[in-house]
């Protein structure tokens, strides 16, 4: 009898090991969109411009913050990681310094997915690194929304930072944004929009200045928060809005609004504003692409 019990116990333990190993082998795909204004140390437009004298330093720090994210994701069992260089030229992350376990998308395809190029329904999570607050946010570092021509962008009446627009794209593929790193202002805006999201604030705006974490500490925080975010993926929900979708863009000058109003389906909604409504979220993105 004792021998039989020992054999049964061994079988149960073996089965448990097999189930555990099978669970660990489940594919986990992570999409990382990386901007630059929210990277620790960045404070001025020169820092993020290819002509800025310190640009090479900050593109390196951008790459290292991306690597911290990748390392955290790999430690949590990620089996595929795609990085989208989503700043300016789309050619900022240093390919030779980027972690070898990640694929990288560089430059722009001219398609409507923009900063989320490469996302699809097969991914399990989206992580946003180096992000910044929407235009006209107080105590925010280099706040803007896509282009300096925009004063404000709303989706179904909700003011949108770039993180919100990109979460909307991911949400329509059924993929949640689980973590964001940037300044405190964008972290707070994402909490308000998404409800549940892990944040990694690496700096705090002080007027036009900012209080920064040391880059190494920022990278450690990002890795820690990435692991935290990927621990319980089922707790996060894709960011979705109910159709019909209405996007409204307020420009800084009337001329741009007049030009955008000639896009088929667009309507002038104010002195410097234009809106567009559709039940098709991809039509919203196409309209948005041509307004920039």
Phi and psi angles of residue 189, each rounded to the nearest 5 degrees, phi first: -65, -35
Q: Higher pLDDT residue, 236 or 13?
A: 236
26-241 CATH fold: Rossmann fold (3.40.50)
pTM for this entry: 0.91
Q: Give the pLDDT confidence of 32-88 residue by residue, as tens digits.
A: 999 999 999 999 999 999 999 999 999 999 999 999 999 999 999 999 999 999 999
Strand order across the beta sheet in which 177-183 lies = 102-105, 80-85, 29-34, 125-131, 177-183, 198-206, 209-212
Q: Give the pLDDT confidence of 87-129 residue by residue, as tens digits.
A: 999 999 999 999 999 999 999 999 999 999 999 999 999 999 9
Q: Give the pLDDT confidence of 152-199 residue by residue, as tens digits.
A: 999 999 999 999 999 999 999 999 999 999 999 999 999 999 999 999
| pLDDT tops 90 at residue 216 | yes
pLDDT above 70 coverage of the chain, percent: 91
Contact 102, 153 (CB under 8 A): no
For 242-292, CATH number out of 3.30.1360.130, 3.40.50.1950, 1.10.10.10, 3.40.50.1980 equals 3.30.1360.130
Q: How far is CA 77 from CA 55, 72, 179, 181, in A?
A: 33, 9, 16, 21
- Would you please indicate which residues are annotated as catalytic (active-site) residues? 144
Q: Where in the chain are the domains?
A: 26-241, 242-292
Q: Which residue has the tokens 């974490």?
A: 213
């Amino acid at each position: 009898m004792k021998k039989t019990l020992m054999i049964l116990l061994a079988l149960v333990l073996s089965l448990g090991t097999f189930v555990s190993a099978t669970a660990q082998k489940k594919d986990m795909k992570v999409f990382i969109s990386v901007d630059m204004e929210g990277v620790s140390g960045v404070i001025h437009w020169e820092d993020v411009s290819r002509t800025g004298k310190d640009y090479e330093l900050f593109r390196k720090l951008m790459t290292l913050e991306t690597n911290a994210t990748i390392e955290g994701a790999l430690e949590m069992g990620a089996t595929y990681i795609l990085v989208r260089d989503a700043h300016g030229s789309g050619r900022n992350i240093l390919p030779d310094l980027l972690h070898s376990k990640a694929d990288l998308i560089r430059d722009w395809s001219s398609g409507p997915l923009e900063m989320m190029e490469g996302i699809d329904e097969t991914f399990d999570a989206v992580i946003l690194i180096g992000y910044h607050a929407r235009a006209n946010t107080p105590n925010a570092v280099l706040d803007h929304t896509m282009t300096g021509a925009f004063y404000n962008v709303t989706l179904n009446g909700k003011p949108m930072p770039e993180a919100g627009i990109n979460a909307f794209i991911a949400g329509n593929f059924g993929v949640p944004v689980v973590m964001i790193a940037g300044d405190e202002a964008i972290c707070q805006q994402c909490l308000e929009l998404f409800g549940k999201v892990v944040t990694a604030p690496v700096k705090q705006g002080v007027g036009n200045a900012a209080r920064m974490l040391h880059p190494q500490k920022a990278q450690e925080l990002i890795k820690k928060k990435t692991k935290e975010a990927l621990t319980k993926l089922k707790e996060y929900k894709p960011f979705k809005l109910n159709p019909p979708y209405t996007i409204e863009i307020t420009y800084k000058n009337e001329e741009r609004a007049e030009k955008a109003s000639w896009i088929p389906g667009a309507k002038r909604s104010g002195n410097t504003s234009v809106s567009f409504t559709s039940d098709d979220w991809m039509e919203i993105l196409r309209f948005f692409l041509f307004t920039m």
